Each structure stands twice: as structure tokens, then as C-alpha cells.
Chains A and B, each alone.
Chain A
Amino acid sequence: MGLDYLLHFNAVKSGKKMFPRTPREMGRPFVATMRETEVVDLFVENLAMRGTQAVRLLQLQPASFGPWRGFSFDLEFESVGGLPMRGTGTGAIIADELHLLFYAGAREHYFDRHRADVQAILASIAR
């Protein structure tokens, strides 16, 4: 992962890992009965397994994901190499499947550079 990136989790089914190539022994799967707080915990665990350090959840709140009722959250963390990063995610559980967009970038300059683009992508989500 670079200075900024966008992760799209598209229709993760209940019982499946958020990152499909995660080894069988590692990590928990997404479960459709998870609450927003649990989904964010799961996502943070997945980031940590990939070397992300010092993750701090700043915010979690209800938000719309296109026409669906969903949630959004903000994180601060350090990349594998120790670079301070910011991230923001918006998602929803729709028909027992997890949909989530997560955008992250270096705290200096890069996070702000594409934020408007990411918000435009979010605004374009339709049924």
C-alpha cells in the first residue's frame, strides 16, 4: 500500500474473509449479524495483520451508503514503515453482504489530495 489508496470491499458474504487471500488460519470472517462496531473492529484487525500500527479509531457513526443506511468511521494509524496516515471508511451491510469503501492517505498532503474524489465516488453509489 502506498501514500494513498482506496480499498473497495464489494459484497463480502457472511462467513468470508474481508481480504480473500488471507490464510485460513489468520483472521476472522465477516458475519452478517455483526454490528457496525464489530465490522470496524474486524477491519482494524485486518489492517493490523498487514502491518499497520498504532491504529486509533476516532469516529464511528451512522451514515448513508448510497440509498442504504450504513456507517462511516475515521482512523489514524501508521503505515508498515511508520508513516502517519489517516483513513476514512463508509459502508453498509446490504442483504447480508458487506460493502465498504476505505480511503487512506499520508497525513501530510496525500490524504486531503483525493478526499473530494472519494466523496464523489461515494455520492455516486446508487441502487
Chain B
Amino acid sequence: MGFDLLKERRAQVVRNNRSGVVSLDCNKVSAAGSVSQRACTFCGSRVVLYPIADALHLVHGPVGCAAYTWDIRGALSSGPELHRISCSTDMREREVVFGGEQRLEASLRRLIAQHAPRAAFVYGTCIVGVIGDDVPAVCKRVETDVGIPVIPVLAEGFRGTKRDGYNAACGALLRLIGTGDATAVKPQSINLLGDFNVAGESWIIRKYFEEMGVEVVSVLTGDGRVDEIRRAHGARLNIVQCAGSMTPLAKAMQERYGIPFIRVSFFGIEDTADALYRTAERMDSPDVMGRARALVSREITRVLPELRACKDALAGKRAGLYVGGAFKAFSLVRALRQLGVSVVLAGTQTGSQEEYQELQAVCDEHTVIVDDTNPLELAAFLVEQDVDIFIGGVKERPIAYKLGIGFCDHNHERKIALAGFEGALAFAREVRVTATSPIWNLMPRRTRGAGTAMGDTR
């Protein structure tokens, strides 16, 4: 490595070695001064609930926290778009000194009257946790008056990690679940947990289940609607995609409503087929299974020829990936392997001990595995591992591009749906486009030592 790994972070980086699985020192607060790629606890709660499109999302705090989360996810809605506006109580010095409850209440009442949401979520930011506003009391008061659920989500930025924010969001969802009438729900039914309808991905998945004759009671939270969430307790099975954020909710629903859950992924054709088959198995219906088989067979036949062409074009390429949760990482390793691309660098922001063990198991020998990494580590490993394609989010993109390395956005700002069979094809095209672009041949990383006069970047 061309830099010194921080002492504090040494146990958060491992090199995969078939002779044994190493335990990572993960799931802890970021090292001060490390320049973590993670956001905060508030962010965890905000991103999970964000796609609920007919709810009001009010950030209680100074304006920045709301400004930075305005229209931040590409989570699409088929109807209302309340989630795409940014509402803040915009606390000023006066509120910091005298308390912000009055301003919160006035904001809630005005915005609810103006937008007629089906529920309201109030997110507490750091300051609110410090000055001690009684947010639950304000919410309760407004809820009683206006007759919609007004739910406090108290995951102040300093309260822990992003994962703690996910837990707070799951707690907020549990306040809604079970409050609607679920008597009309079909016996063959599911909730899809942990899909956020980025670029319309929930719609792709929903379409598959409709074809299989399985009712999707609710998607948590992609293209989310409050009334659907309220009847989610009527589903037969929960299928959990973003397990990092939604496992607490799945466990709570199992406990409270007896709904079992399975972990699935719709990234890559193998994982998608597996998710559909495993869901069908749990429906106890030969008809559902028959339709699942037909669907998978038809879709694979449709996408395989072009996937093969992409594989030929990508032979021998090396990938790095850094994503939020570990389950996406597992899927991406498999999906890339199917494209003939080996993953030589893999990391997550929020992986747990068990998840990193699984990640080591699915990755090849010598893959570098990082937890809660930072730009300097990423830059060093991208070069050291000779990565051709980096898969990550907006904050990782300039690191790859600055070094003349291809990049594929798999985070929540992506505009291309990457889930399901058609998503697997879109992903392959994305990877192919960025890995095989002729521009890389001009970059100093490739021309260095080739004797070109302009190879010097200075």
C-alpha cells in the first residue's frame, strides 16, 4: 500500500485467505478523523422511510440536515410525490435557546393542512437531542387533532451508527403496521422489505409476483403508501432484500404477527431466480411454483444471449465494490462472477461480523475486504489491486474517475433499474460500457511507461 493504514483501523481491513476466516472489527462508530464514507444515525432513519410517498417527512432541526436529504434518493412513486420535497423546521438561535416545540407544532399543522398526507414522520436531528424538545408530546398532540399518525423518529446524528438509524425507522414502521384492515389479503401474499424502488426496481419485482399469482401487500418502503403499510401484517411471508436495514422489522413482525421471513436478493439472475423460487415454495401452491418456473425460464432465455456477449467483452476484468450493506455485496460478487469479472476489493459501510464472514466465503483468494473505509484506503487498494471497474455510490465515483478507472453507481441515486432479470442485463450493460470505454486507453494509468509524450499529468 502507498499509505499508512490508521492504527485504529487495522482490524477493519483483511486480505481474503482460504486458510481461514478472519474476524473484522466492525459495527462500531467511525474512527474520528478517518473521513468515513458513512453518514449518521439520522441518515439511516431518513433513507429507509424516505420513499413513503404519501407521508409528510419533516426534519426537526437547523436547515442543513433537510437540505442535504432533499430528493436524495431516486425512489420513484406511481402517485403522490410528497417524499420529494424537503421540509425542515429550520431551527434558529431562538429555538436553540428557548426550545423548538412551538415551531415544530406550527410547521406540522401548516404542512399537514397544506398537503393532506396519510401520515407524518418527524425526524430529530442532533440539536433536538441536546436541547431536549419533547418531540413525542408534540407529535401526540397534533396526531389527536388532525387524525393521522404523526410519528417521531428519534435517531439524532450522534446516537450511534447508521444501523441504529435503520432500527429507529423500523420502529416507526411498526407503529403503522397492524393498524389497517387486512382481511381481504390473499393467502398467497408477501411483503417486500428493503426495496426502495430506486429507478423503479420495486415495480419490476412486483410485476414478477403478480405474474406468479402472489399478492404484494406492501413494499417497505419503495413506492410506499401508508395504507398499504398499515395492512402489512396480513401477509403470509416477508421477503427481505436490504437485510441490513430491514432485519429488525422482519424479526419484530415475526414475533408480533407470526409472519416468517426469508432473505432474498434481486440483483443478478441467479439471485433473482432463487428469490422467486424460494418465495413460491413458501406459498404452498403448485400453481404459483409452476408460474415461477415459466417466468424464470422465459426471462433467462430472453436476457442470456446479451449477458453472454457482455461476458465475452468483460473477460479478465477486475472489480472493486463498496456498498452500504453486506447483502448487496454478496449479490454483486455473484453477479460479477457470472459476467466473468472477479471482485478483488469489497467493502461495506455497515456490515456485521457474520456478514463479513459470509463475504469472505463468497470472495476469491486475495480479495481485500474493508469495513467503513475511507477515500485514501479505497484509492490505494484500487491501484494496488489493479481494479478496472469500481461499483459504489456518488462519494466513491470521483475516486475511481480521478484514477482513470470505470465506475458503476449502485447506490440510491442511480437512474437505471438494476433489479430483476432486466436489471441484471442493465447492470451488465453498465459494467460493459464503463469497463470497455476507449477513453481509458488515453489515461495516464494506462499510458504510463508507454513512451507517450503527454503521459505526464502535470
A binds B: no
Q: Which A residues form the contact surface with B (CB < 8 A)? A: none
Q: Which B residues form the contact surface with A (CB < 8 A)? A: none
